A = this chain, B = another copy of it.
Amino acid sequence: MDDARLAPVLDRIDADLPEALDRLMTLLRIPSISTDPAHAADCAAAAEWLAADLASLGLDAASRPTPGHPMVVGHTGAESGPHILFYGHYDVQPVDPLDQWKTAPFEPEIQETEHGKVIRGRGASDDKGQLMTFVEACRAWKAVHGTLPARISFFFEGEEESGSPSLIPFMRENAEELTADLAVICDTSMVSPGVPSIASQLRGMLKDEFTVTGPRIDLHSGHYGGPGLNPLREIARIVASFHDADGRVAVEGFYEGVHEVPDEIKRQWNNSGFDEKTYLESVGYTRPHGETGYSTLEQQWARPTLEVNGLWGGYMGPGTKTVIPSQAHCKITCRLVGDMDPDRLRDKIRAHVEARLSPDATVTWDGNLDGAPAAVMNTDRPEFDAARGALTDEWEREAVLVGMGGSIPIAGFFKDILGMDAMLIGFANDDDAIHSPNEKYDVKSFHKGIRSWARVLAALSR
Contact = CB atoms under 8 A, between A and B. Distances in A.
Interface in A32-62: 35-37
A317 interface: yes
Interface string A323-367: 111001101010100000000000000000000001110000000
15 contacts: A35-B319, A163-B320, A216-B283, A217-B436, A217-B437, A221-B335, A226-B300, A233-B308, A236-B311, A286-B359, A289-B358, A310-B314, A311-B312, A312-B313, A322-B407
B317 A96 contact: yes
Contacts of A322: 205, 307, 309, 333, 407, 435
Interface in A389-413: 404-407
Interface of A: 35-37, 93-94, 96-97, 100, 162-163, 189, 203, 205, 207, 209, 214-230, 232-233, 235-237, 239-243, 280, 282-291, 294, 296, 299-300, 303, 305, 307-325, 328-329, 331, 333, 335, 358-360, 368, 404-407, 430, 433-438
Contacts of A434: 220, 223
B97 A360 contact: no
Q: Is the interface of A mostly helix, strand, loop or mixed?
A: loop
Nearest to A319: B35
Contacts of A430: 223
Contacts of A227: 280, 285, 288-290, 296, 299-300
A194 to B, nearest CB: 18
A228 B285 contact: yes
Given A215-B284, A308-B232, A316-B310, A335 B226 contact: yes
